[in-house]
């Protein structure tokens, strides 16, 4: 195995990792603000993937231009879900919250199954089979597009939390919900917006992932789990952490696949998760709780 080969594998892992990171951002935002662990995360993403699939097959809109539409749709879904259901469980114990989101997940996955059937669907772009050759490197075209877009969306999100009033208010809620209420912020409203933003991130990631993988209803639990691994690696509630975690998982999957055995690569991810949980439970970039 030569250096070119490693370079190729590493760059593919890096690019996929960025998209993973975007997906995990949604989970991280919701947990960071509300302390709710969204166990329906992968299911929301599958919904987004199917939405992007429909937009492409019915209206001919490619996933990247479809991204704002899908993200917008998921925002509304997330907002309503928080307003109507999740809000009344904010103070509940973890296992109750868990079961709540699990039932939502069951409903979503099987709703998707009912509408689309069990088949794997994929979309065929002209770019699907193309790749860029940079010297000895062969870069998959759609992977490059997906990674760049993911980076862009993450930057937008960062700017939102940093520079807008709503973003600042949400951060205030996260730091001190009681204080936020005291200074007159509408915490319920902000929570719903946060959940919407989290869902929108997942929606954006779903559009991009559709470029890379085939969608079928049973993907959801895999992605929920993957999302957890990533945010815990990076630090729940930390934006940079989620991206870093995504890249780490992308790279570790790629390299362990090459160095050990491809079928063992998920074990490697779980091993990494266990290590981080034990050595740095708050995650690599997380703050001490």
**What residues between 202 and 231 interact with another protein by CB under 8 A?**
212-214, 216, 218-219, 221-222, 225, 228-229
Q: Characterize the bridge pairing of strands 137-140 and 131-134.
A: antiparallel
x/- map, 7-46, another protein, by CB under 8 A? -xx--xx--x--------------------x---------
Q: Which C-beta is closer to another protein: that of 114 or that of 178?
A: 114
* Least gap, CB of 228 to another protein (angstroms): 6
State the alpha helices, DSSP H only, in 139-186: 141-163, 165-175, 177-182
* Least gap, CB of 1 to another protein (angstroms): 6
Report DSSP letters for 198-263, one per residue. HHHHHHHHHHHHHHHS-B-GGGHHHHHHHHHHHHHHH-TT-HHHHHHHHHHHHHHHHHHHHHS-GG
Report DSSP letters for 20-86, one per residue. HHHHHHHHHHHHHHH----TTHHHHHHHHHHHHHHHHHHH---HHHHHHHHHHHHHHHHHHHHHHTG
CA nearest 115: which of 200, 204, 49?
Answer: 49
Task: Decide if residue 144 touches another protein (CB under 8 A).
Answer: no
Question: Which region among 56-64, 159-167, 197-205, 257-265 touches another protein (by CB under 8 A)?
Answer: 257-265
CA nearest 205: which of 2, 18, 14, 8?
Answer: 18
* Least gap, CB of 132 to another protein (angstroms): 11
Task: Decide if residue 160 touches another protein (CB under 8 A).
Answer: no
Contacts (CB under 8 A) with another protein, residues 47-106 = 85, 88-89, 92, 94-96, 98-100, 102-106
* Least gap, CB of 24 to another protein (angstroms): 13
Q: Which residues of 167-186 are buried (b: 16+ CB within 10 A; e: fewer)?
A: bebbebbbeebeebeeeebe
Q: Which C-beta is closer to another protein: that of 39 or that of 191?
A: 39
* Least gap, CB of 137 to another protein (angstroms): 11
* Least gap, CB of 168 to another protein (angstroms): 27
Question: Which region among 48-56, 64-72, 107-115, 154-162 touches another protein (by CB under 8 A)?
Answer: 107-115
Question: Which region among 50-58, 146-154, 237-245, 271-279 touches another protein (by CB under 8 A)?
Answer: 271-279
Task: Decide if residue 258 touches another protein (CB under 8 A).
Answer: yes
Residue whose pair of structure tokens reads 């690696």 in the numeric block: 233
Residue 65 backbone dihedrals phi, psi, to 5 degrees:
-65, -25
Question: Which region among 46-54, 117-125, 175-183, 192-200 touches another protein (by CB under 8 A)?
Answer: 117-125
């Amino acid at each position: 195995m030569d250096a070119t080969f490693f370079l190729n594998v590493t760059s593919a892992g890096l690019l996929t990792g960025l998209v993973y990171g975007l997906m995990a951002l949604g989970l991280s935002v919701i947990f960071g603000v509300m302390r709710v662990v969204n166990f329906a995360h992968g299911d929301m993403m599958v919904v987004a993937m199917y939405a992007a699939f429909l937009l492409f097959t019915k209206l001919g809109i490619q996933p990247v231009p479809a991204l704002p539409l899908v993200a917008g749709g998921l925002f509304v879904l997330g907002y309503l879900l928080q307003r109507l259901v999740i809000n009344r469980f904010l103070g509940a114990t973890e296992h109750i919250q868990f079961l709540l989101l699990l039932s939502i997940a069951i409903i979503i996955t099987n709703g998707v199954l009912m509408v689309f059937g069990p088949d794997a669907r994929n979309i065929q772009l002209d770019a699907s089979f193309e790749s860029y050759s940079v010297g000895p490197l062969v870069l998959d075209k759609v992977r490059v597009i997906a990674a760049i877009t993911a980076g862009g969306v993450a930057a937008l999100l960062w700017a939102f939390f940093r520079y807008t009033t709503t973003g600042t208010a949400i951060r205030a809620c996260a730091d001190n919900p009681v204080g936020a209420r005291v200074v007159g912020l509408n915490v319920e409203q902000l929570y719903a917006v946060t959940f919407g933003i989290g869902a929108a991130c997942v929606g954006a990631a779903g559009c991009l992932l559709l470029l890379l993988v085939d969608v079928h209803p049973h993907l959801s639990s895999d992605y929920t789990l993957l999302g957890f691994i990533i945010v815990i690696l990076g630090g729940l509630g930390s934006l940079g952490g989620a991206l870093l975690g995504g890249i780490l998982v992308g790279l570790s999957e790629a390299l362990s696949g090459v160095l050990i055995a491809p079928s063992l690569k998920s074990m490697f991810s779980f091993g990494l998760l266990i290590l981080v949980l034990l050595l740095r439970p708050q995650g690599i970039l997380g703050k001490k709780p």
